[in-house]
Amino acid sequence: MTAVQTATDTILEVNDLKTYIFTRAATVKAVDGISFNLRKGETLGIVGESGCGKTMTALSLLRLVPKPAGRIVEGEIVLNGEDILQKSEDEMRDVRGRQISMILQDPQTSLNPVFTIGNQLREALGIAHKENKSSMLSRAVDALRKVNVAAPERRLDDYPHQMSGGMKQRVVGAIAMSCEPGVIIADEPTTALDVTIQLQYLRLLKEIQAETGLAIIFITHDFGVVARMCDRVAVMYAGRIIEQGEVRDIFSRPAHPYTQALINSVPKLEQSVDRLYSIDGQPPLLSNLPEGCRFAPRCPYVADQCYEAYPQSYTLNERHYADCWALDPDWQGTPIEEFVPPTGTAG
């Protein structure tokens, strides 16, 4: 990301987004009022425990929330200056792939096992390009070449089972980027890869981003990946973004007790401990959320005020915010201890 950017660089803006799942038993508030923005050429990491709403946020941005139970009930998703929640489904077909796309976490299930790689690439390319077979073939080869697939002409005739996990994930990336969208959502794209292949894949994404100005939303639970890949971080807990800021601020000066606990939970090679750090308790059910702070039952600094109302967002600097009553100047409870960053977490 460039050092100086303005509001005109904003490619995506999400305002008070709420996505609920309606069942006979209860309403699950999977995403419950989140706001963030994304600039051209920037990588935003979304981190949090399993079930906190990360993937549902991604599906909401593409308007692919599972129906009929799932529904976006409130908010705005402004992509390239237009609120896509106001678009028809026919109009959304022109948005997906061309303006925003997604790399899924498991290439095994992302690719169709009965079609060749070439067939699947040409289908994706057909969204934006209505050309003859020869031109589409050339574009498919170029798409594979951009993600460093060796001998791309030959690979077009391969089926997914003939490729390694790392190669399949590159193909998934090629399909997602084939129509040159401005925004890519990468949902745990390295989960199924071994460590060496993970590093190669992350480097490849950064190279493509540097060449194209691509904006990336990187969904992960791995703080090592966040430190390597991201410019900013949004920390999710129980359907809300409870803290967001620049990567360096989040790692060196995390303000929310949950963010501090997450960072402390990352094992460090240079530390010798008898017991790994863990966060006591369990997240609340998204179908039965408390009135106050959702982290309160697990928080070491909790006070009565925390149970009464959800905290407002407090500004720590121009791009660093956190939702915690303990950040209020008039806070009467136990003050949050100064955070000492564990060695090796800052990227």
Mean pLDDT of 234-251: 97
Q: pLDDT per residue over 29-43, tens digit each?
A: 999 999 999 999 999
Q: What whole-number distance in Å separates Cα of residue 6 and Cα of residue 276?
A: 42
Cβ-proximal residues to 74 (8 Å cutoff; 6+ apart), any chain: 16, 17, 18, 33
Q: Is 70 exceeded by the pLDDT of residue 335?
A: yes
92 by Cβ neighbours in 10 Å (0-12 / 13-18 / 19+) ranks as middle
DSSP 306-334: HHHSPPPEEEEETTEEEE-GGGSTT--SP
Looking at residue 104, its pLDDT comes to 85
Q: pLDDT per residue over 52-102, tens digit each?
A: 999 999 999 999 999 999 999 999 999 999 999 999 999 999 999 999 999
Bridging pattern class, strands 70-79 and 10-22: antiparallel
For the chain, domain boundaries? 10-230, 240-327
Residue labelled with tokens 């419950």 = 32
Identify which has the larger pLDDT, 347 or 8.
8
Minimal CA–CA distance to 253: which of 230, 233, 273, 282?
Answer: 233
Looking at residue 191, its pLDDT comes to 81
Looking at residue 272, its pLDDT comes to 62
| Beta bridge pairs of residue 107 | none
Looking at residue 343, its pLDDT comes to 56
Q: How confident is the model at residue 105 (pLDDT cuts 50, 70, 90)?
A: confident
Q: pLDDT per residue over 301-331, tens digit each?
A: 999 999 999 999 999 998 999 999 999 999 9
| 30 touches 20 (CB < 8 A) | yes
Percent of the chain with pLDDT over 70: 92
151 by Cβ neighbours in 10 Å (0-12 / 13-18 / 19+) ranks as exposed
Minimal CA–CA distance to 335: which of 325, 345, 323?
Answer: 325
Q: pLDDT per residue over 281-300, tens digit each?
A: 999 999 999 999 999 999 99
Minimal CA–CA distance to 218: which of 238, 207, 200, 202?
Answer: 202
Per DSSP, the three-state class of 47 is strand
Minimal CA–CA distance to 94: which of 121, 66, 143, 129?
Answer: 129
Specify the DSSP class assigned to residue 338. Answer: P
Q: How confident is the model at residue 196 (pLDDT cuts 50, 70, 90)?
A: confident
Looking at residue 110, its pLDDT comes to 87
| 347 touches 227 (CB < 8 A) | yes
What the block records as the tokens of 217 is 């939303």
Show the CA angle centred on residue 173, arms to residues 172 and 177, nearest 5°. 120
Q: pLDDT per residue over 206-219, tens digit each?
A: 999 999 999 999 99
Looking at residue 98, its pLDDT comes to 93
Looking at residue 322, its pLDDT comes to 98
Q: pLDDT per residue over 150-191, tens digit each?
A: 899 999 999 999 998 889 999 999 999 988 999 999 999 888
Give the CATH superfamily of 10-230: P-loop containing nucleotide triphosphate hydrolases (3.40.50.300)
Minimal CA–CA distance to 257: which of 345, 328, 322, 333?
Answer: 322
Per DSSP, the three-state class of 280 is coil
Identify which has the larger pLDDT, 275 or 287.
287
Residue 238 gets the label, from left (phi > 0), alpha (psi -120 to 50) or beta, of left
Per DSSP, the three-state class of 236 is strand
Looking at residue 2, its pLDDT comes to 42
CB atoms within 10 A of CB 300: 12
Looking at residue 265, its pLDDT comes to 82
Q: Is 90 exceeded by the pLDDT of residue 222?
A: no
Give the global pTM. 0.90
Q: Is 90 exceeded by the pLDDT of residue 1?
A: no
Mean per-residue pLDDT over the chain, rounded: 90
Identify which has the larger pLDDT, 271 or 110.
110
Minimal CA–CA distance to 293: which of 302, 90, 281, 189?
Answer: 302
Minimal CA–CA distance to 58: which of 234, 199, 195?
Answer: 234
Q: Is 50 exceeded by the pLDDT of residue 237?
A: yes
Identify which has the larger pLDDT, 68 or 345.
68
List alpha helices for 156-267, DSSP H. Answer: 165-177, 195-212, 223-229, 247-252, 257-264
Instruction: Give the type of residue at 99.
Output: Q
